Amino acid sequence: MVEIKEIALNGNQTLYNLNNMKKVIVYCGETIQDKCGQQLHPVIEVKNAEQLILSDKDEIAYSNNTDFVSAVKYIGIKHKVQTEFFLNGVSCGDDIEPAFKDFNRALDMINELGETLE
């Protein structure tokens, strides 16, 4: 028999966690800027991700830090923790590529600004 654990998210969203497998959800994108807090050194971000994965409960995090997002993904795989990533409120499942494509828009902007200076 499959046991379903229900977890409330952001008021009206609900996460259904099958078999009580630990799950970590990370929200990314421009829509969460007010929830991210300050940027920390990349090593600290990786340590924070590891703590999140190794905690004994389901977790929700908000981050636009590439090191944090990558660490959650790959440390989660190592420890067999289910992860789900949201970009601007839309689930990307366990795929971080859409978030990185969104993050890399800043590099495109920098390149465009640099070209105008030449």
Domain range annotation of the chain: 4-116
What confidence tens digit (pLDDT) does each residue in 72-114 have? 999 999 999 999 999 999 999 999 999 999 999 988 888 888 8
Q: Which CATH class is domain 4-116?
A: alpha beta
Tokens of 74: 């790959």
What confidence tens digit (pLDDT) does each residue in 46-66 have? 999 999 999 999 999 999 999
pTM of the model: 0.76
DSSP structure string for 53-80: HHSSS-EEEE---HHHHHHHHHHHHHTT
